[in-house]
Amino acid sequence: MDHTSADAVQAPASASSGESGGLHVVEWSCELVGTALLLLGGLSAVALDFGRGSPVAALVPSTSLRLLLTGTLFAGTGSLVAISPLGRRSGGHINPAVTLAFWLHRQVHRHDLAGYVAAQFAGAILGTALWRLLWGGIADSVAGGVTRPGSGIVPLAAVGIEAVMTAMLVLVILGFVSRRATMRWTPLATWITVAMLVWLGAPLTGTSLNPARSLGPALLALYPSALWVYFVGPPLGAAAAALLSVPLFGGRRPVTAKLYHDPGHPSVFLRQSVPSAPRRRASARPSAGE
């Protein structure tokens, strides 16, 4: 049996507004704001747990436990964005590596690949700027939130570590969105996964998993020397996960390109596999759901 057809009723290709590409300003804007919130909230967790004069450090002297707490808060910010109205409209990728994986599964139009990535980068810069304004000198005490290889980790090793960790994250996402029964739990699954990866991987690479997350702090801290590591590793991992996911999941493919699919919100993605909100027209009958 075709697993994909067993789990989802495919919508007609013409029902997807993403089929013709074009400008999807609302969705791109939601990705921009969502990524800004990710950086603002996530980096605030870093400053709170590791910044100068941190009250958390006094209460939790264990660096390992504070890394786990930081990962939980950072990942929780991303999951909250995914289930918010912003994420329900755009898909809540807030990460170029995630958008790349869905594009490789032919669920994202090339125009939206470019629009989403540009919005994510812009949002990361905005979110980092707001964070620096809010935290002032404490932001400097945590190196401006910059991700860089840990002591003794050469750049090529950091690329490999980031690729493996990002592949793990993307496989979790693709696995959960490949079944209608589990796709609603994707934000929770990514929350747990990223928290664990930060806990284990932060001493090695800073656990970026996200080129946009690394870009904002690196630009504003004027520390671009290691940025290429995070522009190479996460996309490589995402691409590998996208290619491996179909055989690993028994032929299943994503039934949605949203981390939290809400049929009450329209979608710009190609061949959307679950119903979306009907498009309303002022002078015509409602169009078919996507």
Encode the chain (290 residues) as per-residue pLDDT tens digits.
Answer: 444 444 443 433 333 344 456 889 999 999 999 999 999 999 999 999 999 999 999 999 999 999 999 999 999 999 999 999 999 999 999 999 999 999 999 999 999 999 999 999 999 999 999 999 999 999 999 999 999 999 999 999 999 999 999 999 999 999 999 999 999 999 999 999 999 999 999 999 999 999 999 999 999 999 999 999 999 999 999 999 999 999 999 999 999 999 999 989 999 997 655 655 554 444 444 433 33
So what's the pLDDT on residue 276? 53
Please tell me the pTM assigned to this model: 0.88
Q: Domains for the chain: give ranges and CATH numbers.
A: 15-248 (1.20.1080.10)
End-to-end CA distance of the chain: 24
pLDDT at 273: 55
pLDDT of residue 32: 98
Say which amino acid occupies 217.
P
